[in-house]
């Protein structure tokens, strides 16, 4: 027993760095530091540092003027106007480099959101599979109805816990499902009329699997940001197939946060530190 305990302890000791790497909080921190550094460097490289420095100094000067000449109302108001104009100038100077920065970072965030934005469905927890149809005429289904247009085929590990519900107003059909075992499964959605069969991936379990909450037809930009699966066929009557994965909450000192907010704050802090260290004006 002592040997087993020792083995477990040593295994834990070996694994603890590995645990850190799979911890969402650790990932967000590491990512924030790297992104903070990259963004600051990229900003410094693509911006007119001299002009930004001057614009910021001008703003500081006008702020100081408001204080220095506070008894002279015309000067105060004039300085306030200059501050507004100076702020506009400063934003104009930062706009172009921000464009260079926004695009890659947005795409990166989108990809990271696949892992950190949503959590997989816990085993034995129920979830909803929603099929959104293009035309209301196709949305006829009732449990056991021989004329059902849309059916689903489930793997063994996933069962239906309630009959499907047709939400005519939304052109949607919703199934309540339960997964019994961890894993990644394909749920088949079939159009009875033409035999078209479409698949939707479902992640059951824990950890940081790559999750796609929805599969879409068309909507290129929406697919880019929301879906990690191939698009549905263009002529398919099904517009989207979605699963209501729970939002992942990252525990920070007892407070649950969405990873985006945490990333925003930490990358700002990291960026601030790096901008000071590298002497880059933002």
CB of residue 57 to another protein, shortest distance in Å? 4
CA distance 144 to 176: 16
End-to-end distance of the chain based on CA atoms, in angstroms? 60
**Contact with another protein (CB under 8 A) among 25, 29, 75, 252:** 75
The Cβ of residue 229 has, within 10 Å, a number of other Cβ atoms equal to: 15
By CB under 8 A, the residues from 244 to 263 that bind another protein are: 260, 263
**Contact with another protein (CB under 8 A) among 27, 28, 31, 109:** 109
Cβ pair 149, 243 in contact under 8 A = no
Give, in order, the Cα–Cα distances in Å from 52 to each of 45, 232, 268: 13, 47, 19
Site for another protein contains 277 (CB under 8 A):
no
**Contact with another protein (CB under 8 A) among 8, 163, 206, 225:** 225
Site for another protein contains 120 (CB under 8 A):
no
User: Which of residues 125 and 224 has its CB atom nearest to another protein in the complex?
Assistant: 224
Site for another protein contains 228 (CB under 8 A):
no
**Contact with another protein (CB under 8 A) among 27, 28, 31, 55:** 55
Written as six digits, the tokens of 46 are 């693509």
Helix (H) or strand (E) holding 261: helix 259-278
**Contact with another protein (CB under 8 A) among 9, 21, 125, 268:** 268
CB of residue 223 to another protein, shortest distance in Å? 10
CA distance 128 to 239: 17
**Contact with another protein (CB under 8 A) among 39, 158, 211, 216:** 39
Written as six digits, the tokens of 218 are 């068309």
By CB under 8 A, the residues from 77 to 96 that bind another protein are: 77, 79-80, 83-84, 86-87, 89-91, 93-94, 96
Q: Is 282 exposed, middle or buried (0-12, 13-18, 19+ CB in 10 A)?
A: middle
CB of residue 120 to another protein, shortest distance in Å? 19
């Amino acid at each position: 027993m002592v040997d087993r305990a020792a083995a477990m302890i040593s295994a834990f000791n070996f694994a603890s760095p590995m645990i850190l790497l799979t911890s969402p909080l650790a990932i967000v921190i590491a990512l924030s530091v790297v992104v903070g550094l990259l963004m600051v460097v990229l900003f410094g490289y693509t911006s007119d540092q001299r002009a930004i420095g001057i614009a910021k100094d001008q703003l500081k000067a006008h702020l100081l003027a408001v204080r220095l000449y506070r008894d002279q109302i015309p000067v105060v108001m004039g300085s306030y106007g200059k501050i507004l104009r100076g702020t506009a100038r400063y934003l104009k100077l930062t706009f172009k480099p921000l464009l260079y920065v926004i695009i890659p970072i947005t795409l990166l965030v989108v990809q990271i959101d696949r892992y950190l934005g949503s959590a997989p469905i816990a085993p034995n927890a129920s979830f909803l599979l929603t099929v959104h149809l293009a035309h209301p005429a196709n949305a006829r289904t009732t449990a056991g109805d021989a004329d059902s247009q849309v059916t689903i085929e489930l793997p063994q590990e996933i069962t239906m816990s309630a009959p499907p519900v047709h939400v005519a107003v939304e052109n949607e059909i919703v199934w309540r499902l339960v997964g019994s075992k961890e894993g990644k499964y394909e749920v088949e959605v079939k159009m009875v009329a033409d035999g078209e069969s479409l698949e939707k991936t479902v992640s059951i379990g824990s950890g940081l699997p790559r999750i796609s909450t929805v599969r879409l037809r068309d909507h290129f930009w929406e697919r880019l940001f929301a879906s990690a699966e191939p698009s549905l066929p263009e002529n398919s009557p099904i517009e989207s197939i979605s699963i209501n994965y729970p939002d992942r909450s990252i525990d920070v000192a007892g407070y649950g946060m969405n990873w985006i907010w945490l990333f925003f704050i930490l990358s700002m802090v990291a960026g601030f530190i790096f901008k000071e260290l590298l002497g880059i004006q933002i």
